[in-house]
Chain A
């Protein structure tokens, strides 16, 4: 007995460094994190060259604008640009790139051109919560209602209920969401006067300060309500159709037939057996959709004059505030990368087969 206990470690232990590395990089989660890091690096590099090296790039345009409008000599204009973009133009492009990456790692995205002295990150911090609040609420509401309705549609397939909702979902997935927003504003706001559009512009009424007060919460909900309704009714369609087809697949599984044969109640089969399994793949899509929450609102926010991050991006482009534009764009992309990573990990956790499948 004693001998086996002694010999066992020597036989099994001491994996070589190579084996350890292989095990480490073979790990599903590690590989996904590496991929996210590489994508992040690629996106920042892409943005760097997009803003700096393209003919007619923003920095060149900004310098020219200073020279033409204010008659500032070239050197001074470049100094100003260099201070705003946090980039030293006298250094070779390679070193400029390193500076840029170093600044980003510290969370420094430069200063806004139009509001001098305000860091880009501060502007993002001010407007981002409004987008997360409005688009996020819309996403949650559309997801829940879409999943429930999709489940019922699959369960009552080919009924009138299914036909009407399928038609609705098809319209919502093919007609651009901003057209639906315009229809809502024109019909319910202007024609029927159900809500006062002019007063609802912006994120808050004038004079109301963010804080933990009832007036603030009420006002925030008042201003976000119509955009949220639009996000919900337009977003629902896609979830309904995905959930419907996913449920139809599950309904054909043997365990559903068996639980029916066992005489389980319909409601129990629907919730505990079918619903749970059919919604698995949809949760990954939800994680991906969360990444696009931040960016998916440029047009609708500008229609409602709802000042979130999408509206800020549009304004930075219209007013040529390039440092702000670069910052918002990077932030939008990072959130997508992060959400994709989350989706990958979530899915492997929900469905362990994934982890083993593409290990090779």
Chain B
């Protein structure tokens, strides 16, 4: 009995590993996308596991201000002689969390209402499209700047929610036009003929077929949110506590990146970290497309 159970376990594990291997193999079809994916994995590991191994350096060391990289300080030191590398390790979590929260919220809004709008049509469609057009008209970053004066963005998650609530319109449009074209397909007509109900058709038939669009929209929403978050922090309008890449960037900028040549490591570290994160999110899409849209695989 026990060996049988063990065998089943091993079999299940083997299947999982096999599945994972296939996924990775598919992702490797697109080299650029695969590199993006690996970069994301590296950034997430560094930001979420790294802090357990590397302590945040908070001691002011007056004799070690703006040191260049060495074996002791991998990326040099900041304006108070603190290790920059440890700040990079500790500074990714918040940025990724805000991006994820905002991305999730706008994806849920965009996908739900976009599919409903495209699929149901009629008045529902007209109203949803009108609201979308309206929100799309308001320049988003200026609105955030104005909101910062009225609301106080005192926590990162709160800011993430606000960013998510503003970021969905372009996503909704893309999803809606996809839903409109899928609606015409035979398998939807078949599902309708079987009287499967709107909920079933939307969540079981249409959304799975839009998975690649949804994933791409999600990463785009995430990069949009990170752009806005870092921008707001840089302007001094967003939460300014703890350590994150945006705050590092803002501190480096205000503490004399323009005056001291030595400060280049301090300012460039967060710049490069944010740039790599954004670039990796976008390039990773190319591999994600391959996983969720098998039709593309033959081309690659």
Q: Which of the residues B231, B234, B257, B278 comes within 8 Å of A175, measured between beta carbons?
A: B278
> A56: CB under 8 A from chain B?
yes
CB contacts (< 8 Å) of B142 on chain A: these are 295, 298, 310, 313, 328-329, 332
CB contacts (< 8 Å) of B134 on chain A: these are 39, 42-43
CB contacts (< 8 Å) of B230 on chain A: these are 176, 178
- The answer to whether A292 and B274 touch across the interface, beta carbons within 8 angstroms, is no
- The answer to whether B235 and A314 touch across the interface, beta carbons within 8 angstroms, is yes
* Least Cβ–Cβ distance between A112 and chain B, in angstroms: 15
CB contact list, B127-155 vs A, under 8 A = 133-134, 137-139, 141-143, 145-146, 148-151
- The answer to whether A333 and B267 touch across the interface, beta carbons within 8 angstroms, is no
> B283: CB under 8 A from chain A?
yes
Evaluate whether A317 and B258 lie within 8 angstroms (CB atoms) in the complex, with A299-B235, A332-B142 already known. Answer: no
Q: Which of the residues B139, B258, B267 comes within 8 Å of A295, measured between beta carbons?
A: B139
- The answer to whether A182 and B139 touch across the interface, beta carbons within 8 angstroms, is no
Interface size on B, residues (CB 8 A): 40
> A296: CB under 8 A from chain B?
yes
> A208: CB under 8 A from chain B?
no
CB contacts (< 8 Å) of B261 on chain A: these are 190-191
> A69: CB under 8 A from chain B?
no
Render B210-245 as a binary contact track against A, CB cut-off 8 A, 1 for contact: 000000000000010011001100111100000000
With the chains together, A329 CA to B257 CA distance in Å? 31
Closest-by-CB residue of A relative to B144 is A298
Most chain A CB within a 10 A radius of its CB, from B133, B150, B257, B268: B150
* Least Cβ–Cβ distance between B238 and chain A, in angstroms: 12
Interface size on A, residues (CB 8 A): 50
- The answer to whether A296 and B139 touch across the interface, beta carbons within 8 angstroms, is yes
* Least Cβ–Cβ distance between A237 and chain B, in angstroms: 11
CB contact list, B256-300 vs A, under 8 A = 257-259, 261, 264, 267-268, 271, 274-275, 278-279, 281-283
CB contacts (< 8 Å) of B133 on chain A: these are 35, 39
> B73: CB under 8 A from chain A?
no
Closest-by-CB residue of B relative to A292 is B139
CB contacts (< 8 Å) of B283 on chain A: these are 170, 174
> B253: CB under 8 A from chain A?
yes
- The answer to whether A295 and B275 touch across the interface, beta carbons within 8 angstroms, is no
Render B104-146 as a binary contact track against A, CB cut-off 8 A, 1 for contact: 0000000000000000000000000000011001110111011
Number of A-B contacts (CB under 8 A): 118
CB contacts (< 8 Å) of A332 on chain B: these are 139, 142
With the chains together, A303 CA to B275 CA distance in Å? 18
Q: Which of the residues A182, A322, A325 comes within 8 Å of B267, measured between beta carbons?
A: A182
- The answer to whether A54 and B137 touch across the interface, beta carbons within 8 angstroms, is no
> A26: CB under 8 A from chain B?
no
- The answer to whether B264 and A191 touch across the interface, beta carbons within 8 angstroms, is yes
Closest-by-CB residue of B relative to A201 is B258
Q: Do most interface residues of chain A lie in helix, strand or loop, or is the interface mixed? A: helix
Evaluate whether A318 and B137 lie within 8 angstroms (CB atoms) in the complex, with A179-B274, A332-B142 already known. Answer: no
Q: Which of the residues B137, B151, B235, B279 comes within 8 Å of A333, measured between beta carbons?
A: B137
With the chains together, A356 CA to B292 CA distance in Å? 37
CB contacts (< 8 Å) of A43 on chain B: these are 134, 137-138
With the chains together, A337 CA to B133 CA distance in Å? 10
Render A339-357 as a binary contact track against B, CB cut-off 8 A, 1 for contact: 0100000000000000000
With the chains together, A57 CA to B133 CA distance in Å? 26
With the chains together, A318 CA to B237 CA distance in Å? 8
* Least Cβ–Cβ distance between A168 and chain B, in angstroms: 12
- The answer to whether B137 and A340 touch across the interface, beta carbons within 8 angstroms, is yes
With the chains together, A48 CA to B299 CA distance in Å? 53
- The answer to whether A317 and B223 touch across the interface, beta carbons within 8 angstroms, is no
Q: Which of the residues B149, B227, B257 comes within 8 Å of A176, measured between beta carbons?
A: B227
With the chains together, A292 CA to B146 CA distance in Å? 16
Most chain B CB within a 10 A radius of its CB, from A170, A176, A325, A332: A176
- The answer to whether A329 and B146 touch across the interface, beta carbons within 8 angstroms, is yes
> A171: CB under 8 A from chain B?
yes
With the chains together, A299 CA to B237 CA distance in Å? 11
Evaluate whether A336 and B235 lie within 8 angstroms (CB atoms) in the complex, with A42-B134, A174-B223 already known. Answer: no
> A50: CB under 8 A from chain B?
yes
CB contact list, A93-138 vs B, under 8 A = none
Closest-by-CB residue of A relative to B257 is A186
With the chains together, A150 CA to B175 CA distance in Å? 27
CB contacts (< 8 Å) of B148 on chain A: these are 317
Q: Which of the residues A182, A310, A329, A336 comes within 8 Å of B271, measured between beta carbons?
A: A182
- The answer to whether B231 and A176 touch across the interface, beta carbons within 8 angstroms, is yes
With the chains together, A51 CA to B259 CA distance in Å? 39
With the chains together, A43 CA to B136 CA distance in Å? 11
With the chains together, A58 CA to B258 CA distance in Å? 35
Closest-by-CB residue of B relative to A197 is B258
Closest 5 CB pairs between A and B?
A: A295-B139, A174-B282, A317-B149, A175-B275, A295-B142
Query: Can you list 26 A-B contacts with CB-CB less than 8 angstroms, sorted by A residue number?
Result: A39-B134, A42-B134, A43-B134, A43-B137, A46-B138, A57-B150, A58-B149, A174-B283, A176-B231, A178-B230, A178-B234, A179-B271, A182-B257, A186-B257, A186-B258, A190-B264, A191-B264, A296-B139, A298-B141, A303-B253, A313-B146, A314-B235, A317-B146, A317-B148, A329-B146, A333-B137
Q: Which A residues form the contact surface with B (CB < 8 A)?
A: 35, 39, 42-43, 46, 50-51, 54, 56-58, 170-171, 173-176, 178-179, 182-183, 185-186, 189-191, 197-198, 292, 295-296, 298-299, 302-303, 310, 313-314, 317-318, 320, 322, 325, 328-329, 332-333, 336-337, 340
